[in-house]
Amino acid sequence: MGLLRIIMPPKLQLLGVVAFVIAMLFLENQIQKLEESRGKLERAIARHEVREIEQRRTMDNPRQDPGEEELDDIIILYNRVPKTASTSFTNIAYDLCSKNRYHVLHINTTKNNPVMSLQDQARFVKNVTTWKEMKPGFYHGHVAYLDFTKYGVKKKPIYVNVIRDPIERLVSYYYFLRFGDDYRPGLKRRKQGDKKTFDECVAAGGSDCAPEKLWLQIPFFCGHSSECWNVGSKWALEQAKYNLVNEYLLVGITEELEDFIMLLEAVLPRFFRGATELYRTGKKSHLRKTTEKKLPTKETIARLQVSEIWKMENEFYEFALEQFQFIRAHAVREKDGELYLLSKSFFYEKIYPKAT
């Protein structure tokens, strides 16, 4: 080789080195392509084996596809918290029910009491789980979380919900009771005629804007235990967090409602196929807006934030927000200002016994 360097001109030596580098890069590229081809082949073989197993099971048991039976047996329970954009979301369910072939039922409790009596709990659980004519079904209403397993039910409904910044929710509810909204503008409201602003109410120490009125989202998630409705209960806060993580499929945030609907469409297309597009383009999704609502001043907000009740409700809200953003971060990607759902990122392989 040393002799060649002496004999060969420098330009030819350089060309030789370049040719060698190009050849190595070409080989590396071919090896990478072979690895990718092998991966695709393995995935194709795995998919073929899965299909063969499914075909064998279908031949052995030629009844209706069990997947279809399970989808038609699904119950979604949306125990909606007041003034969290619940009507906007529920309108989506109503608009899609005929197209996607499911039933929507409103749970109308006396005086909107979120706590059911023990006998009503039992009746409700029995209705929801055995009313075959209403399956698949989407139930919604202002009802606290209810543990179906306490009544011996094996298959529980799928819980979903939406929560909101606690002060924003209270302000919206305060004006809703006085001026209503553009959903049913002619309906007389309980506090109609009271022109006092939220700021004036807080300054006067009024009961409708007291910190105790913030205590709502925690008990709705906590449930039907008496301690859930004990204002300021730390046990209720922890139980609400536990239920949110362990008993709810997805809990969205009012301020990010479109992302919540997008995720539901991805995971429950049987109900929500077409929901994202409907929310973006439909007329009903943004229909309900509280009338005459005036944003509170910084001083009013500061007075409420001193309360331990606000601190607990805000802790729960921040906890829910963190959970939702974690789920969203692992399900979507942003491109050019738009969110896109990630495609399937797993497959099955090394399936035994082999198909015969």
Q: What average pLDDT does range 282-300 have in this prediction?
A: 72
pLDDT at residue 69 tops 90: no
Please give the pLDDT value at position 290: 59
**Which of 40-44, 100-104, 122-126, 276-280 shows the lowest per-residue confidence on average (mean pLDDT)?**
40-44
Residues with catalytic roles: 140, 142
Cis preceding-peptide flag for 166 (omega within 30 of 0): no
Q: What span, in angstroms and rounded, lies between the C-alpha atoms of 325 and 261?
A: 14
Distant-in-sequence contacts of 45-48, Cβ < 8 A, 24+ apart:
45/349, 46/347, 46/348, 46/349, 46/350, 46/351, 47/347, 47/348
Which among 319, 178, 341, 342 is positioned nearest to 245, based on CA atoms?
319
Q: 172 Cβ partners below 8 Å, 6+ apart?
A: 83, 164, 290, 293
CA 42 from chain centre, in angstroms, equals 34
| Mean of per-residue pLDDT scores for the chain | 86
Please give the pLDDT value at position 46: 60
Greater pLDDT, 76 or 51: 76
pLDDT at residue 186 tops 60: no
Q: What span, in angstroms and rounded, lies between the C-alpha atoms of 247 and 145?
A: 9
69-317 folds as Rossmann fold (3.40.50)
**Which of 7-21, 79-93, 249-263 shows the lowest per-residue confidence on average (mean pLDDT)?**
7-21
Which among 319, 106, 117 is positioned nearest to 221, based on CA atoms?
319
pLDDT at residue 58 tops 80: no
List the chain domain ranges.
69-317
83 touches 175 (CB < 8 A)? no
Any bridge partners for residue 44, and if so which?
none
pLDDT at residue 26 tops 80: yes
Any bridge partners for residue 181, and if so which?
290
Q: What average pLDDT does range 33-62 have in this prediction?
A: 66
3-state secondary structure of 314: helix
Greater pLDDT, 121 or 185: 121
Greater pLDDT, 311 or 42: 311
pLDDT at residue 189 tops 50: no
Please give the pLDDT value at position 188: 45
Half-sphere exposure of 197 (CA within 13 A, CB side): 10
DSSP 354: P
Please give the pLDDT value at position 52: 65
Interval 246-257: pLDDT, tens: 999 999 999 999
150 touches 169 (CB < 8 A)? no
Any bridge partners for residue 79, and if so which?
141
Greater pLDDT, 115 or 34: 115
- Between the CA of residue 160 and those of 12, 20, 82, 224, 246, what are the distances in Å? 72, 61, 14, 17, 12
Cis preceding-peptide flag for 353 (omega within 30 of 0): yes
Greater pLDDT, 36 or 278: 278
Please give the pLDDT value at position 187: 46
